[in-house]
Amino acid sequence: MIELQSRADLELLRESIDLECKLAAGRDGQGALPEDFWPTYSAFANTNGGVVLLGVREKKGQFRLEGIVNPAKVRQELFDNLNNRQKVSANLLTDDCVREVVLEGRTLLVVDIPRANRKQRPVHLTTNPFGHTYRRLNEGDRSIADEDVRRMLAEQVEDSRDDRILKGYHLEDLCPETLRAYRQVFANREPSHPWNTLDDQEFLRQIGGWRRDRETGVGGLTLAGLLMFGWMTSIQEELPNYMLDYQERPEAKTELRWLDRITLDGKWSGNLYDFYRKVYLKLSGELKVPFALEKGERKDETPVHVALREALANVLVHADYSDRASVLVVKRPDMFGFRNPGLMRVPPEIAIRGGEHDCRNRTLHKMFRLVGVGEQAGSGIPKIYDGWGGQHWRTPALYERNEPYNQTLLELRMVDLLPEDVLAALRQQFGTGFDALQRNERLTLAAVASERTLSHARVMELTGLHPVEATRLLQGLMRNGFLESHNPGRGAVYCLPGSALPRPEEVFGDGFGYLPNSSGHLPDSSGHLPSSSGHLPDSSGHFPPLPAAGGLVDRVEQRDSQGRLLTEILDAPVIDALKHLDKTYRAQLEVIAQVPRSKGKLEPEEMRELILILCRGHYVTGTSLAELVGRSAEAFRKQHLRPLVQQGRLKFAFPTTPTHEMQAYRTTESE
């Protein structure tokens, strides 16, 4: 909840994914609810909720207090429309959700819009959900595709998505070895259980893999039974988007190279139980197990084992297998990552707290619990957080993404919150003043020391602070000399005082101007699991040293075998102009970009996935990217590069000058 007590509090705000400001003056200046309030209402309700300030003018990231002459009129209009089903499908607001705030004699209306629950979504305008349902993306309200609306409607009416009977499927569609292995584990855990004597069909009926509809008398395999024990080809006949993928990667990067991989390649059954068994062994194989006794017997697992087991089971039982994203599990030296298709049924913050359970595939959850995998309802995520917290590692990150497809991600990073070497460097720079700071302030400085630059959004992510409190924290650190700011406004980035952040002139030399009328981007955030399968090769060798004292005029240009510019200033080579590239390498890039070059129009998601492939492993200037895909450079930046940076999927080569004409972009990589 936003607390506004003075104009200064208002000036601290910045329009973001959960905040929108609207003037609400009306034609007569007395006050009226603006029509564009309603897409925002739908978007906030269908995403994670948010706040709308009525009576505030926003211009270039700054908020100006205007006020509403007749707030009672606007409030009445709001609730009249909320209760009109011709206008909007659901009223999520109570009187307490709409507050009047008086600042300097002017009245604002603060409208707190909650996230709609599964039974209320989709919240749409008019009586037709198709074409009138919105979702919040970055700082805008975007219409949801019909396919996603249908999925929301299905989620609304189906408490469990995996208990329906499949027509035309039989026991022959199941892998007998998988079912036998499952039954053996069950019998080992419960040797005297009466289900052990049942035949396979009756055993499946008891655990939910086979059932009979009492109204129609029709019996058969359930979707849960097919997913848990079926053959890959049979599963994909029912669920064409079904895909499982495990990757063990050698480095702490998002680049798609792996040492080991398990995917649907036809060499094994392809069902969930076999995937779980294979992947858990990979995840836990190198974990150290200290000697410990419990009730006189040695314990063979640690809280980290438990956390990984819960995370793997969680990703499988909560997945929406009708959605387009794949199930992806990644093991890296610095982290474990889990991605499942579909958004969460309860908000992430509630899932982390525990106690409220709404599993998408309840029968699958039951099947896993019967063989000792998975916690009781609502306790799995807290168990994961507890296991990770006990190691003093960075708090797990549980979050959702809507692009390119609906997906839920869980990142378990094996990184200390405040590494000793970083703390030592900060104490050396700031002395005893560093230890006198509050925890969130020290965490912010440790992050900026590790990541070079920090954004307002990144501070909120690290600390969990509200936008106003995050701004106050940053301003306090700047006021006391711990941080300095670059690129003021909505695209501001923060760094340690005196940090030598890279500038375009240091890499490309002098003589480049700035793009006119170009708006800034937001700096990059933390890494994420990629959703694209392509990759480009890394640079070989090392970066040569810069001239010792020659200055920019004497800058010596050095390139790798592909023609990419090498510089010690950046952490990767740069494609600064296509004309410098090796002909064979340029031809490879042009093949990747062939579709947008040959098509006049491309879906935004398809274009952005292609951009991520082109920007993997090196920086590419915006003009070079635009030339590769056959688009106008300025429009290309606004339509595609800016959103990808705002989403944290691309990062700047030069964060202090985001609108420079030689700005270059690279896919985000984890710290």
- pLDDT class for 387, splitting at 50, 70, 90? confident
Say whether both 619 and 482 belong to one domain. no
Here the tokens at position 258 are 């792996």
- Residue 668 pLDDT more than 90? no
Give residue 142's domain range.
7-157
In whole angstroms, what is the distance from residue 633 CA to residue 159 CA?
A: 47
Task: Confirm whether 434 is domain-assigned.
Answer: yes
- Residue 162 pLDDT more than 70? yes
- Residue 415 pLDDT more than 80? no
Say whether both 553 and 441 belong to one domain. no
pLDDT reported for residue 514:
32
Q: Which of 141-150, 273-282, 550-559, 568-577 has the highest mean pLDDT?
A: 273-282
Task: Confirm whether 1 is domain-assigned.
Answer: no
In whole angstroms, what is the distance from residue 281 CA to residue 270 CA?
A: 16
- Residue 416 pLDDT more than 90? no
10-28 mean pLDDT: 78
Say whether both 433 and 458 belong to one domain. yes
In whole angstroms, what is the distance from residue 42 CA to residue 44 CA?
A: 6
Say whether both 352 and 380 belong to one domain. yes
> Model pTM?
0.68
Task: Confirm whether 385 is domain-assigned.
Answer: yes
Share of the chain above pLDDT 90, in %: 52
Task: Confirm whether 162 is domain-assigned.
Answer: no
- Residue 518 pLDDT more than 70? no
Say whether both 248 and 119 belong to one domain. no
pLDDT reported for residue 472:
84
CB contact at 8 A, 36 and 66: no
Per-residue pLDDT reduced to its tens digit, 497-514: 877 677 888 888 754 433
Task: Confirm whether 2 is domain-assigned.
Answer: no
Say whether both 442 and 509 belong to one domain. no
CATH code, 465: 1.10.10.10
Task: Confirm whether 537 is domain-assigned.
Answer: yes
- Average pLDDT over the chain reads 84
Say whether both 278 and 319 belong to one domain. yes
Task: Confirm whether 166 is domain-assigned.
Answer: no
Say whether both 206 and 258 belong to one domain. yes
Task: Give the chain's domain count.
Answer: 4
CB contact at 8 A, 366 and 318: no
Q: Which residue has the higher pLDDT, 449 or 12?
A: 449
In whole angstroms, what is the distance from residue 252 CA to residue 668 CA?
A: 11
Say whether both 508 and 644 belong to one domain. yes
- Residue 552 pLDDT more than 70? no
Say whether both 489 and 508 belong to one domain. no
Strand partners, 58: 63
Per-residue pLDDT reduced to its tens digit, 93-122: 999 999 999 998 999 999 999 999 999 999
- pLDDT class for 528, splitting at 50, 70, 90? very low
- Residue 521 pLDDT more than 80? no
Task: Confirm whether 164 is domain-assigned.
Answer: no
- Residue 293 pLDDT more than 60? no
From 495, 513, 531, give the residue that closes a domain: 495
- Residue 539 pLDDT more than 60? no
CB contact at 8 A, 384 and 391: no
From 128, 157, 186, give the residue that closes a domain: 157
589-606 mean pLDDT: 87
